[in-house]
Structure 1
């Protein structure tokens, strides 16, 4: 797999599909403690007809390095796309990846064709009780902290062995990367600016998402000038819980049928 050398990091990425295919490239951005393989189903589908790019963010998957802000991670995406000579594109971001995608849309509106946010929000909001619980959870042993967060990301009934595999993969992410990205997500807030994003936007969310509840997504959707909302019977890990449903929603949206 190709890698891009950056200052303090090496990003692993995939660049597939026809260069003269249908529409601008799709750029898939994974979430916290995940990796580019969260998008396997979507990559296999879209690579038959258009250019598709995905990457392991700094410190995740097969990329090294570390970043402390969402803006730094978004900057890496732009550097990669510049290297690949991609101008306009459609970012598809899951969870933290959706925060990165919104940062890209706000910082580089001229390059965004459409925007897709999967199980993501524009502002982390907690009740006082949940805020204290989330803060206390960071004091737990590292592997327990990661396992608890991944376990609760899936809707009830998801196969336990699959969940264990995702926990193992997430636990391999370096502690510094996990905790700095966790802190970056907790302070992320662009809700007052999303009205500036004029490009058509698809918001796909799991009904059973307790990590980033659907009510928070709907609050965000009201602020978008041109938003389409899809609610799916899934938890927070929609790309792997209901991959076919997500792929179908993406296909309809990016081809203008939705």
Structure 2
């Protein structure tokens, strides 16, 4: 585990693998932490550098997101501190939305994109209100009711028990006030749909076949708007295919890395 303090915040992160080629930056979703990427860290750090941060306010990273842009800015600060000019960026769910924001605002820092179980669309008035209501609920009730309610939407009911237990533990361990701050910030994120056509780096869109939070149809539309993007549907998975079916998810990452053309 590593910790770095920038002008804006302090981030805890894993940094493993040989410093060869473009590194892989893995961005977790809400309300999780960097441990959701354990299978991918173990696999891909065997031959390349893999950077896996806890986002601000999640896991061991302190603070709370003051506004949506801060989450991508934090990742750029991390790359700067590590003296990494570019990275292949893989984000899941909220992490995918952060990856899109990072590419839109810092395109020269992104060598490739993997967008997993996510959406480029902004919030509607109804979904924004629901996100703000969820933030208030987290503050009032804590994480446990939300975690129990969401578990079998995050993973399939057929997911291995160890996977479900890990996901539930991550959700329960998240600080509810910090998670609420991120949700309030997320409620105001911009719509990135129009930016998809201008993505000029290799891109792979991944979605669990049973994901009802960001369904296959929505992923297909997003992939269709990114020039040359691949769409990969992962069987036996809902919203967290990297944990539910890591072999298939890792094959999608391998495909992206092959397209980027780095060792």
TM over 0.5: yes
User: CA distance change for structure 1 residues 135 and 170 in 2, over 3 Å: closer, same or farther?
Assistant: same
User: CA distance change for structure 1 residues 201 and 82 in 2, over 3 Å: closer, same or farther?
Assistant: same
Match of 1:54 in 2: 52
Match of 2:213 in 1: 211
**Residue pair 1:36, 1:56 contacting (<8 A) in 2 also:** yes
1:251 aligns with 2:249: no
Match of 2:238 in 1: 235
**Residue pair 1:124, 1:185 contacting (<8 A) in 2 also:** no
**Residue pair 2:56, 2:65 contacting (<8 A) in 1 also:** yes
Q: Aligned residues, how many?
A: 255
Match of 1:145 in 2: 146
Match of 2:18 in 1: 18
Q: TM-score, normalised by structure 1?
A: 0.89
Q: Give the Cα–Cα distance (whole angstroms) in 2 for the partners of residues 190 and 245 of structure 1.
A: 27
**Residue pair 1:151, 1:167 contacting (<8 A) in 2 also:** no
Partner SS state of residue 259, structure 2: coil
Match of 1:5 in 2: 5
User: CA distance change for structure 1 residues 4 and 133 in 2, over 3 Å: closer, same or farther?
Assistant: closer
Of stretches 165-174 and 102-111 in structure 1, the one that deviates more from structure 2 is: 165-174
Cα deviation 1:141-176 (Å, max 9, x = unaligned): 332123312332111312346424422321221112
Partner SS state of residue 11, structure 2: strand
Deviation, 1:251, is: 1.1
Higher helix share: 2
Deviation, 1:248, is: 1.5
Match of 2:107 in 1: 109
**Residue pair 2:117, 2:206 contacting (<8 A) in 1 also:** yes
Match of 2:158 in 1: 157
Deviation, 1:180, is: 2.3
Partner SS state of residue 256, structure 2: helix
